[in-house]
Amino acid sequence: MRHGTRLTIVAATLSVVVSSGCATVEWTENLFAKRQVEVEERFVRVETDVHRQGERIDRVEVRMGHLDTRLTETHDLVRGSLAQASTPSTVARPSTSEAPPRRSAPERAPRVARTLVGVVNVPFAFDRADLDPRAEAALASILKELHQNPSMTIDLEGTTDAVGRLDYNLRLSQRRVEAVKGWLTEKGVEPTRVVGSKGIGPVASVAVTDDVKRRVMIKLMTSAE
C-alpha cells in the first residue's frame, strides 16, 4: 500500500511539473512573438520617418539648386552691366570752344496805330463798383457803336474821387473797370476788342466835381489808315 501511494504521488508530481513546463514554454513563445511584432512595428515607423526626412532633404536640395541658379544669373547680369558702364562712350559731344548759336529775337508784330474817335463816361455811385441804370444806359450806347463798327476797339480807364486812402481807391477804380468789361463781354463783345483796361485811382483835380471823378472813361478807337 505504501509503495503504491508513493508511486501515485510521484506520478502526480511529474504530471504537475510537465504541465507547468508546457505552460511556461507556451507563455514564453507568445511573449516573444508579441515582442517581435512590436519591434517590427517600431522598425516600420522608423523607416517611414527616415523616408519622410529624406524627401524633405531632397526638396530642400532642389530649392537650394534653384537659388544657386538665380544667384549665378544675377551675378552674370551685374558683371555685364558693369562691363557696359566701364566702356567709354563714343557719343560725340560739342566742343566747349565753340560758341552756341545765337537765337534771333522773335519779331514783334507791328503796332497798329489807332485814332481816338469818341469818349463815353460810365458813372458810378460813391464807393460803389456795381452798375446802376445810368451806367447801363451809357454802356448800351457803347454796345451799339461796337456792333455798327466791327473794327472799332476800346480802352477803359477807371477813376475815383479823392476821398479815402490811395490804395483803397486804386482797387476800387480797378473793380469799376472789371465791372464794365464784364458787362460788355457778357453782351457779346470779344475780349480782344478791349485793348486797354486799368484803374488809375483818384482824380486830384479840383476843376472836376467828385461825381464826375467816379467813372470809367471808355475811349472809342479806330485803326488809322
Tens digit of each residue's pLDDT (9 = 90 or more) over 125-166: 999 999 999 999 999 999 999 999 999 999 999 999 999 999
Which of residues 154 and 57 earns the better pLDDT score? 154
The sign of the dihedral angle between the CA atoms of 144, 148, 149, 150 is positive
127 torsion bin: left (phi>0), alpha (psi -120 to 50), beta (else): left
**Interacting residues of 200 by C-beta distance below 8 A, sequence separation 6+:** 157, 158, 159, 170, 173
pLDDT at 110: 54
pLDDT value at 3 more than 70: no
Q: Which residues contact 72 (CB under 8 A, 6 or more apart)?
A: none
* Cα 82 from Cα 63, distance rounded (Å): 29
CATH class of this structure's domain 114-223: alpha beta
Mean pLDDT of the chain: 77
Amino acid, res. 188? G
Distance CA 156, CA 59 (A): 88
Which residues are CB-contacts of 115 (< 8 A; sequence separation ≥ 6)?
221, 222, 223, 224
